[in-house]
Structure formats: structure tokens, C-alpha cells
Amino acid sequence: MANVIFDFDGTLADTFPLVVDVSYRLAPGTRRLPSRKIDRLRELPLLTAMRSLGIAYWYMPILMLFVRRRMTPRMTEVSPCEGVLPMLRTLQDAGHRMYILTSNYKENVHIFLKHHRVERFFGEVGTVYYASTAVKTRALKKMLQRNKMAPEESYYVGNEALDVEAADRAGIKSIATTWGGFNQQELRKAKPFAIIDKPMDLAGLLQ
């Protein structure tokens, strides 16, 4: 059986609409971009997307400090990415061990998992304060050690190029997902072990 570590935002949960709404609420007076332009920002890394919302640069420290905190009371509004819940149940039934490593708050993740009744599927929810390749690499290595996971039996599933790079540096296989909307050309440049277009593709890959 495999050890499967998931990114959270854009991989398991479609948090992007909530991140956008909270960001604008933290920057009063900012004119919102049209919906079509906001949706295109899904192609960018999340922090870059936040900086591209047309919000004045002096609000950025406020966003960095408070967006995740302001998401907490609204996490039950967040939908799973389409097809994720059946995929998780399939992996659970197959005996795969599942974990989460994210830059979101641990409390936010647990609220989401509990609301959708999949909290028991995960052995650990690990968090990092800042999403960068170096920070995630260190966190992945520590998670492997804590849970006594063999690298050759482990995968990191994420929706950004930095997730692929972090997995590679940690010595585990990287699986890139396209359903979060991230630029597919950038994902291919990162050279993941595999690229999957639908959550159930992961179940087939792990067989």
C-alpha cells in the first residue's frame, strides 16, 4: 500500500473563491476584478494570484497575516474539488495511508474534513506557514520521518509546480493535478512522476 500526502488548497478543496472573497473584504474600497479575470488567476501560484487581484500593495501584509484566519468561520462553505470525495473513499477502502501537508491553517483543514466526513481518513495534517519549495521540502522530510514512511512507497499530490519540486527534493514521487486550474505547461516543466486530470485517475495510478 502507498503513502499518499496531499496538498490541500486546489487539490482537495476548492478554497480559491473564499480566498478571493476574504482578500477583498480585507482591502475595503478595492474594485473587484470581473469574474472571468479572477478565474484566470487559478493558473498562478496562490500567493501570486492574491497579488494579482488589483489590491493595493500596502494591503499585502494584512492579507498574508489574516486571510487564513478569516477563512476559519467560513470553511463549511468550501466545496471539495469535483470527484475528490469518491477518490478518497476509494483510496481508504484500498488501504492506502493518507496525509495532508498544506500552508493553510490546520484548524481550517480539520473543519473542512469534519464537515465532509472524511477526517478519519487522514493520519496527520501537517502545516507550513509559507508555501515555498524549500519550506515544503523540509516539512515533507519531517512528515516521512514522523510517520516512518518509506520514500519509495510515498507520493505527494499537489496542484502547483512548487509541490512537484518539493516532492522531488524530499525523495518521493510527485503527482501533479490539473483540476485546480494551475498552468499545465508549468506543471509539465517541473517534470512530475505523473500528471492526472481527474481525482479517480489517482486510484488507478496507485494500483
Q: Which tens digits make up the pLDDT trace of 61-106?
A: 898 889 999 999 999 999 999 999 999 999 999 999 999 999 999 9
**Is 104 in the same domain as 10?**
yes
**Is 113 in the same domain as 30?**
no
**Is 7 in the same domain as 98?**
yes
**Is 140 in the same domain as 48?**
no
**Is 67 in the same domain as 89?**
no
Say if residues 94 and 2 touch (Cβ distance below 8 Å). no
pLDDT tens digits for 6-23?
Answer: 999 999 999 999 999 999
pTM, two decimals, is 0.94
φ and ψ at 105, to 5 degrees? -70, 140
Residue 57 is predicted with a pLDDT of 87
Asked whether the predicted pLDDT for residue 3 surpasses 90, the reply is: yes
Distance of alpha carbon 133 from alpha carbon 79, whole angstroms:
26
Which comes out higher in pLDDT, residue 57 or 138? Answer: 138
**Is 110 in the same domain as 145?**
yes
**Is 56 in the same domain as 98?**
no
Residue 64 is predicted with a pLDDT of 86
Neighbouring-strand partners of residue 125: 100
Q: Cell numbers at residue 169, please? A: 527534493
- Domain stops at, among 41, 74, 107: 74
Which comes out higher in pLDDT, residue 120 or 57? Answer: 120
- The confidence band for 48, taking pLDDT boundaries of 50, 70 and 90, is confident
CATH number at residue 103: 3.40.50.1000
Residue 47 is predicted with a pLDDT of 80
**Is 84 in the same domain as 139?**
yes
Q: Cell numbers at residue 176, please? A: 501533479
Q: Write out the residue range of the structural domain in which residue 122 sits.
A: 3-14+78-206
**Is 178 in the same domain as 100?**
yes
Asked whether the predicted pLDDT for residue 50 surpasses 90, the reply is: no
**Is 9 in the same domain as 21?**
no
- Domain stops at, among 50, 74, 98: 74
- The confidence band for 205, taking pLDDT boundaries of 50, 70 and 90, is very high
Quick one: what percent of the chain has pLDDT higher than 90?
83
Amino acid letter for position 124 = E
Residue with cell 516532492: 167
**Is 90 in the same domain as 158?**
yes
- The confidence band for 182, taking pLDDT boundaries of 50, 70 and 90, is confident
- Domain stops at, among 26, 54, 74: 74
- The confidence band for 5, taking pLDDT boundaries of 50, 70 and 90, is very high
Total of domains in the chain:
2
Lowest mean pLDDT among 43-57, 63-77, 112-126: 43-57
**Is 32 in the same domain as 121?**
no
